[in-house]
Structures are given as C-alpha cells and as structure tokens.
C-alpha cells in the first residue's frame, strides 16, 4: 500500500486549501483513513479520520472549518480546509489501516499501518 498526499501550499490566514490523498495497493474492501499534522518539536496530532463505516470524526481545533470526504472509486480521501489559521501550519500526513477504533475523536497515529510522505501547509498571519 502506498499513500500519496498533494495539495499543500502557502496561504494567508482565512484562506482555504484542499489536500488529497490517493491510495494504491488497496484490496477491494473499506479502509480507515485519517489526516494528521505535525509541527517541529511537537507530536503528530490527528486532525480527522474516517472509519470503515464511513463515520467521520474531527479534532476539536478544526471542527466547523475542515471537512473530510472520501471517493471510494478513486481510493482517495480529501481534506477541505477553510478559515485557516497560522496554528494550522505543519506537515499533513495521510494514513490508512484495515480497521480502527470508533470514538468521538479521530483515532491516534498508532492505530494506522500505512503513511504517506506528507504535504506542507503554511498559513501566514
């Protein structure tokens, strides 16, 4: 399995970006997929996740601003980010696994098996 992110870039605060993650090597089944972000000196934090039943959860810090969508045919997930803030800056990673937990917040990074290389998002004030 390989995951490839794209769509990162530099925007001003209040702007929008949409990240894409395309998977190759998936079997014909549903997968849990998630978005994470990491800034230097901090742990990788979950941003949004979708489980095999299509249920989506978001980190509190992005609720109402970020939207995760999925295209099962293309084996892709997208993260539409609006009203971006400087604190949203970081490297965004896509992750996947055959299964994951279900809860009020996105699953943590140790629940994912496959990871993309990341795409950088920079939000300037």
Q: Is the pLDDT confidence value at 103 over 90?
A: no
Q: Is the pLDDT confidence value at 68 over 90?
A: yes
- Strand 9-12 and strand 119-124: the pairing is parallel
Q: How many residues appear in the chain?
A: 125
Residues 16, 123 contacting (CB under 8 angstroms): no
- The upper half-sphere exposure of residue 14, i.e. CA atoms within 13 Å in the direction of its Cβ, equals 1
What ranges in the chain are assigned the alpha helix state H?
none
What span, in angstroms and rounded, lies between the C-alpha atoms of 5 and 21?
4
13-60 residue pLDDT tens: 999 999 999 999 999 899 999 999 999 899 999 999 999 999 999 999
pLDDT given for residue 33 in this prediction: 97
Chain-centroid distance, C-alpha 75:
14
pLDDT given for residue 98 in this prediction: 94
pLDDT given for residue 38 in this prediction: 97
């Amino acid at each position: 399995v390989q995951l490839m992110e794209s769509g990162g870039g530099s925007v001003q605060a209040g702007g929008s970006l949409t990240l894409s993650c395309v998977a190759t090597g998936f079997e014909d089944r549903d997968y849990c997929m998630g978005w994470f972000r990491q800034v230097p000196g901090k742990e990788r934090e979950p941003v949004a996740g979708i489980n095999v039943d299509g249920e989506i959860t978001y980190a509190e810090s992005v609720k109402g601003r970020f939207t995760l969508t999925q295209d099962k045919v293309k084996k892709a997930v997208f993260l539409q980010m609006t009203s971006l803030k400087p604190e949203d800056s970081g490297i965004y990673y896509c992750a996947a696994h055959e299964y994951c937990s279900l809860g009020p917040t996105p699953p943590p990074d140790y629940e994912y098996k496959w990871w993309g290389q990341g795409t950088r998002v920079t939000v300037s004030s």
